[in-house]
Chain A
Amino acid sequence: MGQVLSTFARIFANPNFYATVLAVTPPILFAALGCAIAQKANATNMGIEGIMLISSFCGVMASYYIGHTNPWLGLLVSIIVGGILGYLVSFFAFRLKVDIILVGIAMNLLGNGLTAFFLYVFTGDRSTSNSLQSGTLPQISIPGLKDIPVLGQILSGQNILTYIAYILIFVLSFFLFKTKLGLRIRAVGENVNAAESVGISSLKIRTIALIISGMFGGLGGAFMSSVYLSYFTKGIVGGRGFIGLAACSMGGANPIPAALTSILFGFFYALSGFARTTGISDNLVNMWPYIATIVGLVVYSIKQTNDEKKRLAGLNAEEEPKKS
């Protein structure tokens, strides 16, 4: 027991650990932010995992075949493909009126099958496109910051897409809460009749929200194949889309809480990575992020129920004195 504790103490004392937390969080964060904007329009983007997978694959293909392993081209293609897939979700769910959860499930199944199939077609390899390099996006050292001990070690030298991920938290927050379109998205999500009755097209608003959501998925996909790895491998997303979905709902579909929850999950990802090197069984360690998700959802649900109870108690307390 003492030995395990000291192992953890060593991990937590290591600045590299915190740098890793920040480095492994972005795909979850992109997914969570993407889900958040869709959720605000009351359009659950269950298919985020599949969107990430397909856009990641397309990005690698584009960068290898067209861009001579230019990762920037891959990134651009990933974002575009993500946006198109987001549009598809909206088309099926709101124009053809298929249940949006089913569309999401279909998207995830499609993502698995389609990428595995085309991977084989293009490379003749069933699991990785190791032969198709996508190139990696550059890391950035932040002048000034990088020389500060510990903090510099943690914050500087991350990948550019990592920085973009954290910046996007605030961009999305601004978009949702401070712009006209954000206001409309929230109105449609909360009371679609109210929005329609003042002439706002819920179809249009939800389509926009899902396209942006898909683009976030595209960013997450690109991160997997051009930052995390430099090629595509089967099932590369590994449930990060779903974990992002969980983080989004635990954050009440608000960008900042959703981001904090994403970082918490990132923490467990990093921890499992570090613990692996200390001789704790791989199988045990690999479970941690997922266990954290389940525990997180339970805690969130209990909190929600309590808050609701408190709100109702407040309402009734307010009612009583009015009578007397």
Chain B
Amino acid sequence: MDNFLVMKDITKVYDNGCMANDHVNFSARQGEIHAICGENGAGKSTLMKMLFGIEQPDEGTITIKGKTVNLSSPTRAIEEGIGMVHQHFMLVPSLTVAENVVLGIEPTSGLHFDMNKAIEMTEEVCKKYNFNINPRARVMDISVGMKQKVEIVKALVKGCEILILDEPTAVLTPQETAELFQQLRALRESGKTIIFISHKLNEVKELCDRVTVIRKGKTIDTFDTAGVTEADISRAMVGVDILLEVEKEPAQPKENVLVVKDLGVYNEAGKKVVKGVSFSVRSGEIVGIAGVEGNGQRELIDAITGLHVYSEGSIKMLDKEVSSENIKGLRKLGMVHVPEDRMTMGIAPKMSIKENMIADKIDDPRYVGRILNKPKEIKEDTDRWIEEFKVLCENGEEQINSLSGGNIQKVVVAREFTSYNRLLVCDQPTRGIDIGASEFIRQKLVEMRDEGKAVLLISADLGEIMNLSDSLLVMHGGEIVAYITDMEHLTEDELGYYMLGVKRMTPEEIGGALHA
């Protein structure tokens, strides 16, 4: 049945004017595993939110088994046989597995919540689909892989026919991933339709029957995975095959600006996520950090920028220990930060473009007198920056959240790059923004390097990080597994091996990252 599920001409425009889906067409057969691929911000999640009733489309129709459905809420979606495993688990930690599984459809006997029946229901599904879970265990005590199984069982127990999995392998170990794939194949055999959202192309190739590629809110094409290579899918995702290389001279690194030594960081859950990391960033060079998301980069950057405490080792910015300085002190030393999440960390969304540009300079006597701001000077400089950083806007007085993502990022970059700086920490500086803005920001980064700044660049865009970095650190499992200085001869394949932890350099080679 080719049109078991059909989403036709789906259009969704968010309140801020962002067109997340533009006449997207998607259809899935019964009993197939269908991947949806696309870059971050391509609109995959939006499409799935509409299928699960969390968001409603502005235009377009969804039909299941030929019947048009109105998915106004998750409850409706569940009734139509749709289940979803969210990227962030929707589980209640202190409740048992069985209680989580039956939440919303709790069996009762008299006044009692019927725990035995709940366990029975869970065990029945587990047996039928060959899941090995203890229904009596408390969710807080089980592993991540196990939690994901609970999520799947939760959907199955409600009788779902269509199961959506949003980046399910992002949090799993390779062994857990292999087990998950086995189970998903078994579910396919029993006639379930599985929608698998991922940007790990090897997994898509391995597991899925078909793949639909979405780019910038539009469906590009649907392929049989057997007939295409990973490179084909990736080309469809990115669009143009060529990456516009930024021209740059070889770096002329000088003295150390940032020195990280034997750093250990624990996350909120108390797990050690950065383990014995040592490296330095010198002025006049761009040091890149690559790695699959969730391998400690987040916590490493937060520790360096003073947002997260670290308990082991040291981070020195120009010989000053980072933990003994507050953020303002770090900025005084010349550390600036382009954060990954620009909407919450990078800007104050309801303030004007100019106010956002000046936000970190309110101590500067050039802009602020003893009591009052100096509007003339502020206007002069912000006007100049708007021009220099090519921010597309009317006059800089409008609210910043009326701009597109790319232009917002340019404002953030303009603010950070025009402050006193010695070290630029740039976290995914071009994620989810258009090619033009990306090129501009990359160009700027190289310019800053040539002016003698130290640059620490974190990016999930391998093309970008291979092009821009003068040397590259690869993180896996919270450790640095490779320090690459010969960028010219580095291939994506080789980088991939390091990122996945297949290959690993010797401690001596990695130790080279820390310059005297």
| Contacts from A to B (Cβ < 8 Å) | 178-180, 182-184, 186-187, 190-191, 193-200, 311-313, 315-316, 319
Does A319 contact B103, Cβ atoms closer than 8 Å?
Answer: no
Alpha-carbon distance between A178 and B90 when the two chains are bound, in angstroms? 22
Does A312 contact B270, Cβ atoms closer than 8 Å?
Answer: yes
| Contacts from B to A (Cβ < 8 Å) | 73-75, 78, 84, 86, 88-95, 99-100, 103-106, 108, 111-113, 154, 158, 266, 269-272
Alpha-carbon distance between A196 and B86 when the two chains are bound, in angstroms? 13
Residue from B93, B94, B95, B154 in contact with A198 in the complex, judged by beta carbons closer than 8 Å: B154
Which residues of chain B have C-beta atoms less than 8 A from A190's C-beta?
92-95
Alpha-carbon distance between A191 and B103 when the two chains are bound, in angstroms? 12
Given known contacts A187-B95, A312-B270, A315-B271, A198 and B104 CB-to-CB distance under 8 angstroms: yes
Alpha-carbon distance between A287 and B88 when the two chains are bound, in angstroms? 48
> Given A187-B92, A187-B103, A193-B90, 13 other A-B contacts at CB below 8 A?
A178-B111, A180-B113, A183-B106, A190-B92, A190-B94, A194-B90, A194-B91, A194-B103, A197-B84, A197-B90, A198-B158, A312-B269, A319-B271
Alpha-carbon distance between A180 and B86 when the two chains are bound, in angstroms? 24
Residue from B90, B92, B105, B112 in contact with A186 in the complex, judged by beta carbons closer than 8 Å: B92
Residue from A186, A198, A199, A315 in contact with B270 in the complex, judged by beta carbons closer than 8 Å: A315
Which residues of chain B have C-beta atoms less than 8 A from A187's C-beta?
92, 95, 103
Alpha-carbon distance between A316 and B266 when the two chains are bound, in angstroms? 10
Does A179 contact B112, Cβ atoms closer than 8 Å?
Answer: yes
Which residues of chain B have C-beta atoms less than 8 A from A180's C-beta?
106, 108, 113
Given known contacts A180-B113, A311-B270, A316-B272, A195 and B93 CB-to-CB distance under 8 angstroms: no
**What are 20 A-B residue pairs whose CB atoms fall within 8 Å in the complex?**
A178-B112, A179-B112, A183-B99, A183-B113, A184-B106, A187-B92, A190-B92, A190-B95, A191-B93, A194-B89, A194-B100, A195-B103, A197-B74, A198-B104, A198-B158, A199-B74, A200-B103, A200-B104, A311-B270, A312-B269
A interface majority secondary structure: helix
Closest CB-CB distance, B139 to chain A, in whole Å? Answer: 10
Alpha-carbon distance between A194 and B104 when the two chains are bound, in angstroms? 10
Alpha-carbon distance between A194 and B91 when the two chains are bound, in angstroms? 5
Closest CB-CB distance, A256 to chain B, in whole Å? Answer: 16
Does A315 contact B113, Cβ atoms closer than 8 Å?
Answer: no
Alpha-carbon distance between A191 and B139 when the two chains are bound, in angstroms? 12
Alpha-carbon distance between A98 and B154 when the two chains are bound, in angstroms? 34
Which residues of chain A have C-beta atoms less than 8 A from B99's C-beta?
183
Alpha-carbon distance between A193 and B90 when the two chains are bound, in angstroms? 6
Which residue of chain A lies nearest to B77 when distances are taken between CB atoms in the complex? A199
Does A183 contact B90, Cβ atoms closer than 8 Å?
Answer: no
Does B112 contact A191, Cβ atoms closer than 8 Å?
Answer: no
Can you list the 4 inter-chain pairs with the closest CB atoms, starting with the nearest?
Answer: A312-B270, A198-B104, A199-B75, A194-B90
Closest CB-CB distance, A65 to chain B, in whole Å? Answer: 37
Does B113 contact A191, Cβ atoms closer than 8 Å?
Answer: no
Which residues of chain B have C-beta atoms less than 8 A from A197's C-beta?
74, 84, 86, 90
Does A319 contact B113, Cβ atoms closer than 8 Å?
Answer: no
Residue from A178, A186, A198, A315 in contact with B269 in the complex, judged by beta carbons closer than 8 Å: A315
